[in-house]
Structure 1
């Protein structure tokens, strides 16, 4: 019954929509008006392309991850490559409508993303550089959302930089949490392979749990501090909302058994990036 919804989820739709909503929040916080109409569309297409290509390359590796999302990409690889090609053509067409500053920024960021995806695909299964995957993805994801706005204005305030760093920390928190939860999920299903190489497996559950707790504490504390530092009501609301996003991810971490059922952690974990809609 939920197959169509699950398929939309496996296509990273929650992440794509989360990027668009987060971009709208960054737009309002930065007071850039008007932001070109093609900016959020381009962002959605690029996020979809990067996430989909990353998984399509993952499933070509002999040690491909055994998750349901990767099985979906493996079964529909031919069709998904066509969809990615179509999305790339549309994105290319949109570049002719975007401001020059956004196009230049997109070319640089797109080049970095392509280099990252290509490197990850070519590196050996247990190369130490693969441990940088989670922080790199978090940085690139946040850079696309906030950078596409900042290049359209002459200055960036300290409040904006702080909230962008909070958002980057949340993206990193999400990725590490998913690593831990996927590991536990595969252990329950009896499909876990010790050869799986990630920060979660190398650092171990205890150190990852400790990192996630400190991330939550730091992000939420920054959110509260910003409420006293700035008089901008929207900046205060968005700071508290970012703190709520981090606390929600901590709730998943705190009760793993509950959130492992029916992949609840995936739905809520990616759903936190829809929280900016609460303040828009």
Structure 2
């Protein structure tokens, strides 16, 4: 049985480091981007170049954000930040290599996506500059969750919809619903972090954990209500499946909050929270 323990240890070792690199978030973004392109009937043309670029962009943003955190006078001391600091030279080389791959992908990118992507790139660059110049006690940190959710939604959905001549109403609704789930997910992490954070500010600390708890619940109710309307209004079976999926994702976020006692130790909520976006696998 020793080989089983060894195999489990090796798998756990690499999974943990993949999580520290936010590769689960990257995969979730690429899956969601694929779904957005398949809307509304599930047979929409999927651009491999844009899907790959979304993954590269999400990975680069998360890595750059942590590398910039490590260069601040008041560093964020977490396992993932220490991991990024330890492997910074290698990560910079990987980012440079992915940058070259991204430039090559631009030749296969639809024109509409290129314009939207360029706009988002400028906005993200400005966001990273502002984040680098702020400290843990700056009020701007309070807007981090909604801003990240907006950037994520725009990068995943807006780019996908920009390639189509016409955007069906279902796609617009699902862009809003997935955006709400992304914000709920980030707000949930903020809620969990507030129990351990000794200094600094998050939305959960600013608004209070009870208020944030109610907001998380109402997001689930809103997502499920709107998804139900879509379920009975759409003529596309693919959208019916998507409505069920986004509802389950939102309810799963709320369930994690209710099971806080068991998922808070060792930051299990991060693994499970990021894993919520893998519910979309059956739509790909």
Question: Aligning the two structures, in what range does the TM-score lie when normalised by the shorter sequence?
Answer: over 0.9
Structure 1: 5+ residue stretches without partners: none
Shift of 1:99: 1.9
Shift of the 148–14 alpha-carbon distance from structure 1 to 2, 3 Å rule, reads same
Matched, 1:168 2:168: no
- Coordinate RMSD, CA, aligned: 1.6
The 10-residue stretch of structure 1 (61-70 or 249-258) with the greater mean CA deviation from structure 2: 61-70
Q: Which position in structure 2 is the counterpart of 1:193?
A: 198
Structure 1 contact 30–149 (Cα < 8 Å) conserved: no
Q: Which position in structure 2 is the counterpart of 1:139?
A: 150
Shift of 1:145: 1.0
1:85-116 deviation per Cα after TM superposition (whole angstroms, max 9, x unaligned): 22112111211221222211111011111111
Shift of 1:128: 2.0
- Mapping of 1:124-135 within 5 angstroms? 124-135=135-146
Structure 2: 5+ residue stretches without partners: 1-8
- Residue of 127, 145, 150 corresponding to 1:116: 127
Whole-angstrom distance in 1 between the partners of 2:89 and 2:191: 30
Shift of 1:148: 1.6
Q: Which position in structure 2 is the counterpart of 1:225?
A: 229
Whole-angstrom distance in 2 between the partners of 1:6 and 1:125: 26
- Residue of 19, 23, 26 corresponding to 2:36: 26
1:41-83 deviation per Cα after TM superposition (whole angstroms, max 9, x unaligned): 1111111101111111112223333322222222222221221
Matched, 1:210 2:214: yes
- Residue of 7, 12, 16 corresponding to 2:17: 7
Whole-angstrom distance in 2 between the partners of 1:21 and 1:219: 20
Whole-angstrom distance in 1 between the partners of 2:185 and 2:82: 21
Structure 1 contact 30–150 (Cα < 8 Å) conserved: no
Q: Which position in structure 2 is the counterpart of 1:95?
A: 106
SS of match in other structure, 2:204: helix
Shift of 1:6: 0.4
Shift of 1:126: 2.5
SS of match in other structure, 2:217: helix
Matched, 1:159 2:170: yes
Shift of 1:117: 0.8
Shift of 1:270: 0.3
Shift of 1:35: 3.0
Residue-pair matches, total: 273
Structure 1 contact 238–279 (Cα < 8 Å) conserved: yes
Structure 1 contact 223–243 (Cα < 8 Å) conserved: yes
Structure 2 contact 194–202 (Cα < 8 Å) conserved: no
SS of match in other structure, 1:154: coil
Whole-angstrom distance in 2 between the partners of 1:125 and 1:255: 28
Whole-angstrom distance in 2 between the partners of 1:64 and 1:165: 34
Shift of 1:124: 4.0
Q: Which position in structure 1 is the counterpart of 2:246?
A: 242
Structure 1 contact 212–250 (Cα < 8 Å) conserved: yes
Q: Which position in structure 1 is the counterpart of 2:47?
A: 36
Structure 2 contact 74–135 (Cα < 8 Å) conserved: no
SS of match in other structure, 1:96: helix
